[in-house]
Structure 1
Amino acid sequence: MLTDYERAQVVVALLEANKTKVQTVRPSALYPHIEFEDSYAISAEVARRTIAAGAKLIGYKVGLTSIAMRRSSKIDEPDFGFLYDHFLIEDGAKVPHANYCVPRVELELAFILGAPLKGPGVTMLDVLRATEFVVPSIEIIDTRVDEPRQIYDTIADNGAGAGIVLGGRPYHPRDLDLRMVPGILYRNTEIEETGLSCGVMGHPANGVAWLANKLSTLGYALEPGQMLLAGSFVRPVWAQIGDTIRADFGDLGSVAVQFV
């Protein structure tokens, strides 16, 4: 467990990395005794200061939703991060690569809540009832800490959350089978990754249910209007300067972004 001083040092370093877009030393290298409680406390304090500086909290993201990713990280549950208004990017926009340290992209379904969700005990059905609509998205992930990262570093670093591109068509959960949404991720003209939404814990709403229950242990609740990224159902793909990224979600439509 870290001391308050050690946690504060990590918070300052992460805020500086967010500002300069230069990676900082990973917390686990500086403080090998770091624990999950430390990482979530650091992430929450970075969020508090980010909001105090003028950002608006618009929701949360879930990460490590696939069994393979959790096994590789040697953990038995996903993680989460905070989403801010400055993360939002218009579909088809050109985004400066310099806005990030080492950006990658993922395919995700974004759940927009129409009713509150508060754990414990939130189920997939609760999530579906509370969801106003679902829309396809590209998540831009970025790591503000250096390699080789451990799960403690990723959690402290906001679960690598950095940007959101929304597009396609909004659907009510009852109007489609959310388990079987296809995803094809293109980089320029090449197909880099393909997947199905059932790769997110069997059903993407399970990712949101986990989030609601996890947040309840930390004193948070999900509110109407918030956006929740349920987790990626493909592996992350590197984004280089000049790359056009397009995500095809079948009947839900497509989303695109270009890095310049």
Structure 2
Amino acid sequence: MTGLPTETIAAIADELAGAERDRTTIPLLTARHPGMTVDDAYAVQGEWRRRAVAAGRRPVGRKIGLTSKVMQAATGIDEPDYGAIFADMVYENGSVIEHGRFSNVRIEVELAFRLAEPLDGPDATIFDALRATEYVVPALEILSSRIELAGRTIVDTISDNAAMGAMVLGGTPVRPDDVDLRWVAAMLHRNETIEESGVAGAVLGHPALGVAWLANKLAQHGDRLEAGDLVLAGSFTRPIWVQPGDTVLADYRDLGTITCRFV
């Protein structure tokens, strides 16, 4: 249940849009609105997303966050969340990316699912998610936090579009029944040094479970995943900080490599 007045939700959405536009951060929402709930946070995100669509941004999918124990430990938050992906957030493999476009910039290693058909909750299963998937492809997520990091709760994170900044797609697309997705592994390099590694099974035991979780969570908010949607299933490594001048490369072995450079 939402507890914040509609005008407060709108005002927070305005703050977050301004922080994204001005590339700044705002103080913790939970410190200023101590009674704020997860439902309030999704209401803020929904209002921010609605305004972005009205302004001409094209939605292309959703991201799932905090689906692995390493990410939950890294953030101190113990449940998944989701956010919106717009077309202007998606970069091709090998892109040169403006670091200053984002705030608190970090990189995560993930798999992205491209859906061939809609996926409805509230009772979606892993098998429904796999059946609805056209292909799975390596992805890097660029985290951007428009709310100060210290002391964040899941309410702050959800309101902040689950810290979605952008994503890079690359490597080799595979059909979900052509590979055991649990055992897709990656090594994450920054400037020729391996910083993180992991396997996709760290995401809830199977990354497609994240997609099913998302479909069921969206159903609670009167929404669903559509054919053609891109779903970032969640990181299976801890995030690494990146600075201007850094080159990032993730090696997924049989699924290829994905890279980007920040300037």
The answer to whether the 8 Å contact 1:92/1:256 transfers is: yes
Match of 1:161 in 2: 164
- What does residue 56 of structure 2 align with? 54
- Tell me what 2:34 maps to: 32
Native 8 Å contact 1:188 1:244 kept in 2: yes
* Structure 1 position 125, deviation (Å): 0.8
Following superposition, the deviation at residue 250 of structure 1 comes to 1.2
Which secondary structure does the structure 2 equivalent of 1:11 belong to?
Answer: helix
Q: Does 1:238 align with 2:225?
A: no
2:120 counterpart letter in structure 1: K
Match of 2:4 among 2, 5, 9: 2
Aligned partner of residue 82 in structure 2, secondary structure: strand
- State the shift of 1:147 in Å: 3.0
What does residue 187 of structure 2 align with? 184
Kindly state the Cα deviation for residue 3 of structure 1 after the two structures are TM-superposed: 1.8
Give the TM-score normalised by the residue count of structure 2.
0.96
Q: Deviations over 1:89-129 (max 9, x none)?
A: 12111111111112100011000000110001111111111
User: What aligned pairs does 1:216-255 form with structure 2 within 5 A after superposition?
Assistant: 216-255=219-258
2:80 maps to what in 1? 78
CA shift, 1:71, in A, is: 6.2
Q: TM-score, normalised by structure 1?
A: 0.97
Structure 1's 236 and 22: CA in aligned 2 closer, same or farther, altered over 3 A?
Answer: same
Select 1:210's aligned residue among 202, 210, 213. 213
Which consecutive residues of structure 1, in runs of 5 or more, have no partner in the other structure? Answer: none
- Name the CA distance, whole Å, in 1 between partners of 2:232 and 2:15: 26
2:144 equivalent in structure 1: 142
What's 1:106 paired with? 108
Tell me whether 1:197 sits opposite 2:200 in the alignment: yes
Q: 1:173 aligns with which of 176, 179, 182?
A: 176
Give the gaps of 5 or more residues in structure 2.
none
Q: Point out the more displaced range, 89-98 or 79-88.
A: 89-98
Shift of 1:76: 5.2
What secondary structure is seen at the aligned counterpart in 1 of 2:134? Answer: strand
**Could you say which residue in structure 1 is the equivalent of 2:260?**
257
Percent of aligned pairs sharing the same letter: 45
Q: Secondary structure at the match of 1:256?
A: strand
Deviation, structure 1 residue 25: 1.5
CA RMSD across the alignment: 1.3
Q: Secondary structure at the match of 2:177?
A: helix
Contact 1:70–1:77 (CA under 8 A) maintained in structure 2 = yes
Q: Which amino acid aligns with 1:82?
A: A
Measured after TM superposition, the shift of residue 69 of structure 1 is 3.9
Q: Is the 8 A contact 2:108 2:240 kept in 1?
A: yes
2:259 aligned partner, one-letter code: A
Cα separation, 2, equivalents of 1:153 and 1:132: 33
Structure 1 residue 68: Cα displacement: 4.9
Measured after TM superposition, the shift of residue 70 of structure 1 is 3.8
